[in-house]
Amino acid sequence: MRRTHVSTRLNGDNVDFLCEPRQSLLEVLRDNLGLTGSKEGCNNGNCGACSVILNGRVVNSCCVLAVETEGAEVTTIEGIAEGDRLHPLQQVFLEEAALQCGICTPGFIVASKALLDKEPHPDEARVRHWLANNLCRCTGYDKIVRAVLKASDQMEAKV
Amino acid sequence: MTTVERPDYKIIGTSPIRPDGAEKVTGAARYAADFKPAGLLYGAILRSPHAHARVIKIDTSEAAKMPGVMAVATHTDLPAAADKVEAIGESAVNLKELSSNILAHDKVLYHGHAVAAVAARSHFEAEAAARAIKVEYELLPPVLDVRDAMREDAPLLDENRHTKVMGGQTSDKPSNIASHNRFEDGDVEKALAESDHVVDREYRTRMVHQGYIEPHSSTAMWNSDDTIQIYTSTQGAFGVRSLTSQVLAVPLSSIRVTPLEIGGGFGGKTVIYLDPVAAVLSRKTGKPVKISMNRTDVFEATGPTSGSYIHIKLGIKDGKIHAVDATMAYEAGAFPGSPVGAGAMTMLSPYDVPNFRLNAYDVVVNKPKVAAYRAPGAPAAAFAIEQAIDEACKALKLDVLNFRDSNSSREGVKMVNGVAHPRIGAEETVQAALASDHWKSPIEGPNRGRGVASGFWFNAGMQSSVIAGVNPDGTVNLIEGSTDIGGTRASLAMQLAETLQIPFEDVRPVVADTDSIPHNDVTGGSRVTFATGLATYEAGMNIRKQMAERAAKLWNCSEDDVDYIDGELHCKKDSTKTLTFKEMAAQQARTGGPITGSASLVARGAGGAFATHIVDVEVDPETGKVEILRYTAVQDVGTAIHRAYVEGQIQGGVVQGIGWALNEEYFYDEEGHLRNSSFLDYRMPTTLDVPYIETIVVEVPNPGHPYGVRGVGEVPIVPPLAAIANAIEDATGHRFTELPISPRRVVEELNQLS
């Protein structure tokens, strides 16, 4: 199948890639670009393990065609830390034991970052509502919700 | 809450950051589907659209000619497997049946049963070619419900299957009932007749899936020297090696299994589906082949846990459980092996029951072969007995928690299998629930109710091996073979650090492949922190002994005169002579070479786990939605090693139980097609469906472990189904005896009442 040339900004870098028009963004990230931090849990938009930030919005990258990212700004889990410094969300997820197997963790961190970028002080209900697109089967969500609230507090204290 | 004086641990009971944490929050950790060697081909599997059919003919000729296709495989590419049973941790598999499950032989036995496989240059090409394989089927009537399958006139999944009964006999007539076991003591008929009150009820649960977020994926490379490398997602690399070796009839040593990070399993990744198929396709093509399931495949064709039918007669006399007569039938799926035995053996364990008769039936149906799921068999059994107890207490106006306290099991009480409990924390757990803030807080308001339930899980021991190598700078590499599914690198490294009395950060754990560490049984049965922990402790003590021997030589004294205190070696006779762990580590080369501690063992003395849960619900009678208002899980954990991960195991198990109670079910149509094989239609709990889960960690140390560890992972899923049903009864006055108690069921059953 003829491949299409796409120019995008990915985790702050200008990135060009070739893809088949039928390939999802998730597939291109993982198979064409080697960014395997975004996970496939369902491939139909129900689990959120493939969450990325596309032009400021959280999307399931399995439900976006890669060709749609022409000229777009994309942030994946690989672009959340600043150099070797973990993002406060990443640090707090570790401190609060907010992950067990870790497969859903990239999606939760990406989705939570998008929330805190927009709304720095969400309450528990807001966090639960925002993260309802992301499935975790290990933790029962308790420590994830607490971690996001704690990260919000910490980021506020630093500002 | 601690029940004996706790030793002065430095590391045990804290919550350090896990050693594999940074990789998992940055996306760097490599899971099975992330593995991509050069020259990789992609496999796809054709699955049966029918629940029950004879396979007349498989025509792969068109598929083989499709673009990009490199090889096609069917069951004829697998050697004939022996008709014998292999133990894999908590369950056992018949190898012939396993082989038939991996690629169907003469029959397909469920919707989604694998029939043929293709390897191609891209997954698009592989999937297109799999669709082009032509299979001729002769349709057979499916049997989907456990009780239908038990009828004498039921269609048979296997005409050669006869019921195995205790004592090794088999039935004369062929049957879908694969086995019938009985546990009995006392005089049940007499005890029921003399009881003050008898509850007589039937309970039903549906098949549910573990719901791990990572689909199965396996990459195999069959090399020209007939060695095979497998990179896979599994709870047990040695289990994959052993089962693959038997299915492919190759020696164990020719297979090297590398367990990549695993994205959840809950028991479902203790068996194999893809590994031998990827290996066969690799042999045919000379290239590495990866097969990854999609979510539909996972639902249709991997092992959920059984649907069940349980009939209980419970007799109460003078406030005590006097008799239990139970018939339990569990769906095994396409091949025998339901956890009905474990269901029967766990059901009465929280209590002291003098008279019981439990008849347990393992029944095949045209659904996928079940696999282990967190405390396999126990939740459905608890759903039945814990509701019957609740019903009896309400009829007799007895307090449900005080009743459980006064009927509690304890050390010396025999389980139904005749084994007496060692020191357990059953009473302490119920008493902690009685003392909890939740229990003491009132529940008020319309349509609200509170329920409690208890549960038990054995916990497993089994085989573990570790190797700990001391580095010259005093750090230690801990090589283990227990795949880390939720923090066991941390819980093992903590035990080694505690044993050696060195900082946690100085221990670097790694999960090795099957060539690099001796045998380890599966990560299952809540066994790793206990059993591999025991091996880790022994390896650490071995290092301490070697260091003492070497210090004695350096100091020209007897080994008995060397003390190991707070990570330092001391000469008892000369207080000026001391060596820190780091100083001794630095002297390895000059004092006899590398210091390596290792241990390989069968862990005896696993300590059983008890839990009692309290839940408050609100039921919306118009929409049927059940809201979980508050949830408290009390559990005896022995000793909490990593406190936060212990809480996390409890919280995770509870929420799986909430899903099972309220929404989750395999929904089959009459032809046996699974109709809800997506996360949209198979409704697992989200953040919005649950509150914070409160945990009360009771610590009654297990005498079978130096640090008192009991397994913690499984028992939290045992009480929720019944606790929630009891709470809904408290809220509505109606007892729901069939799961899931979904909005539709709530509305339907409440409407029938009014």
> Is 80 exceeded by the pLDDT of residue B3?
no
Final residue of a structural domain among B580, B603, B626? B603
Residue B259 covered by a domain: yes
Who among A20, A77, A135 is closest to B213 (CB)? A135
> Is 90 exceeded by the pLDDT of residue B753?
no
Residue B707 covered by a domain: no
Compare all CA atoms of chain A with the CA of B215 and give the residue at the minimum distance.
A41
Residue pair B350/B456 in contact by the 8 Å Cβ criterion: yes
Residue B504 covered by a domain: yes
B544 φ/ψ sector (left φ>0, alpha ψ -120 to 50, else beta): alpha
Q: Dihedral (C-alpha) A25, A27, A28, A32: value to the nearest 10 degrees?
A: 170
Residue pair B580/B473 in contact by the 8 Å Cβ criterion: no
Does B714 participate in catalysis according to the annotation? yes
Compare all CA atoms of chain A with the CA of B210 and give the residue at the minimum distance.
A137
Question: Which pLDDT belongs to residue B495?
Answer: 98
Who among B25, B30, B651 is closest to A140 (CB)? B651
| Cβ neighbours, 10 Å, residue B513 | 17
CATH at B243: 3.30.365.10
Question: Which pLDDT belongs to residue B88?
Answer: 62
Q: Which residues of A touch B217 (CB under 8 A)?
A: none
> Is 80 exceeded by the pLDDT of residue B92?
no
Share of chain B above pLDDT 90, in %: 96
Which comes out higher in pLDDT, residue B36 or B92? Answer: B36
B370 & B478 share domain = no
Q: Which residues of B touch A46 (CB under 8 A)?
A: 295, 678-680
> Is 80 exceeded by the pLDDT of residue B399?
yes
Q: Which residues of A touch B212 (CB under 8 A)?
A: 101, 103, 137
Residue B429 covered by a domain: no
Question: Which pLDDT belongs to residue A1?
Answer: 76
Q: Which residues of B touch A127 (CB under 8 A)?
A: 687
Residue pair A99/A88 in contact by the 8 Å Cβ criterion: no
Which tens digit of pLDDT belongs to each residue from B251-264?
999 999 999 999 99
Q: How many residues does chain A have?
A: 159
B352 & B494 share domain = no
State yes or no: ipTM above 0.95: yes
B235 & B374 share domain = yes
Which tens digit of pLDDT belongs to each residue from B570-593?
999 999 999 999 999 999 999 999
> Is 80 exceeded by the pLDDT of residue B2?
no
B371 & B517 share domain = no
B500 & B591 share domain = yes
Using alpha carbons only, give the angle B176, B180, B185 rounded to the nearest 5 degrees: 160
At residue B260, φ and ψ (nearest 5 deg) are -80, 175
Q: Which of B2-11, B164-173, B557-566 has the highest mean pLDDT?
A: B557-566
Token digits of residue B431: 């008493």
Compare all CA atoms of chain A with the CA of B299 and give the residue at the minimum distance.
A42
B272 & B343 share domain = yes
> Is 70 exceeded by the pLDDT of residue B4?
no
Which tens digit of pLDDT belongs to each residue from B549-575?
999 999 999 999 999 999 999 999 999
> Is 90 exceeded by the pLDDT of residue A83?
no
Who among B27, B485, B645 is closest to A78 (CB)? B27
What domains lie within chain A, and their CATH numbers? 4-77 (3.10.20.30), 88-158 (1.10.150.120)
B471 & B593 share domain = yes
B293 & B160 share domain = yes
Q: How many CB pairs under 8 A join A and B?
A: 184
Q: Which residues is B72 bridged to in the sheet?
A: B118
Residue B241 covered by a domain: yes
B487 & B342 share domain = no
B467 & B389 share domain = no
In angstroms, the CA B352 to CA B559 distance is 50
Q: Which residues of B touch A143 (CB under 8 A)?
A: 644, 647-648, 651
**Structure confidence at residue B84 as a pLDDT band (50, 70, 90):** confident
Question: Among B74, B78, B24, which Cα is nearest to B261's?
Answer: B24
Question: Among A140, A1, A143, A48, which Cα is nearest to B643's?
Answer: A143
> HEC string of B75-108?
HHHCCCCCCCEEEECCEEEEHHHHHHHHCCCCEE
Q: What is the mean pLDDT of chain B?
A: 96
Q: Tell me whether residues B30 and A141 touch, CB distance under 8 A.
A: no
Question: Which pLDDT belongs to residue B468?
Answer: 98
At residue B132, φ and ψ (nearest 5 deg) are -85, -5
Mean pLDDT within B71-85: 89
In angstroms, the CA B554 to CA B688 distance is 64
Domain range spanning residue B471?
Answer: 21-28+461-603
B371 & B506 share domain = no
Q: Tell me whether residues A132 and B687 touch, CB distance under 8 A.
A: yes
The active-site residue, picked from B714, B729, B738, B749, is B714
Question: Which pLDDT belongs to residue B509?
Answer: 98
How close B266 comes to chain A (CA, Å)? 9
How close A71 comes to chain B (CA, Å)? 24
Question: Which pLDDT belongs to residue B90?
Answer: 55
Using alpha carbons only, give the angle B14, B16, B21 rounded to the nearest 5 degrees: 150
Which tens digit of pLDDT belongs to each residue from A94-103?
999 999 999 9
Residue B239 covered by a domain: yes
How close B653 comes to chain A (CA, Å)? 7
**Structure confidence at residue B665 as a pLDDT band (50, 70, 90):** very high
Q: What is the mean pLDDT of chain A?
A: 97
CA B324 to chain centre: 27
- The residue type of B70 is M
B352 & B498 share domain = no
Helix, strand, coil shares of chain A, percent, nearest 5, are: 40, 20, 40
Final residue of a structural domain among B398, B423, B447? B398
Residue B447 covered by a domain: no
At residue B28, φ and ψ (nearest 5 deg) are -80, -25
**Structure confidence at residue B470 as a pLDDT band (50, 70, 90):** very high
Who among B30, B684, B690 is closest to A137 (CB)? B684
**What's the total number of domains in chain B?**
2
Which tens digit of pLDDT belongs to each residue from B102-145?
999 999 999 999 999 999 999 999 999 999 999 999 999 999 99
E-strand stretches of chain A: 4-10, 13-19, 51-54, 57-60, 73-75
Q: Which residues of A touch B124 (CB under 8 A)?
A: 20, 22
Which tens digit of pLDDT belongs to each residue from B238-294?
999 999 999 999 999 999 999 999 999 999 999 999 999 999 999 999 999 999 999
Question: Which pLDDT belongs to residue B561?
Answer: 96
> Is 70 exceeded by the pLDDT of residue B1?
no
Question: Which pLDDT belongs to residue B491?
Answer: 98
Q: Tell me whether residues B263 and A78 touch, CB distance under 8 A.
A: no
Residue B467 covered by a domain: yes
Question: Which pLDDT belongs to residue B86?
Answer: 72
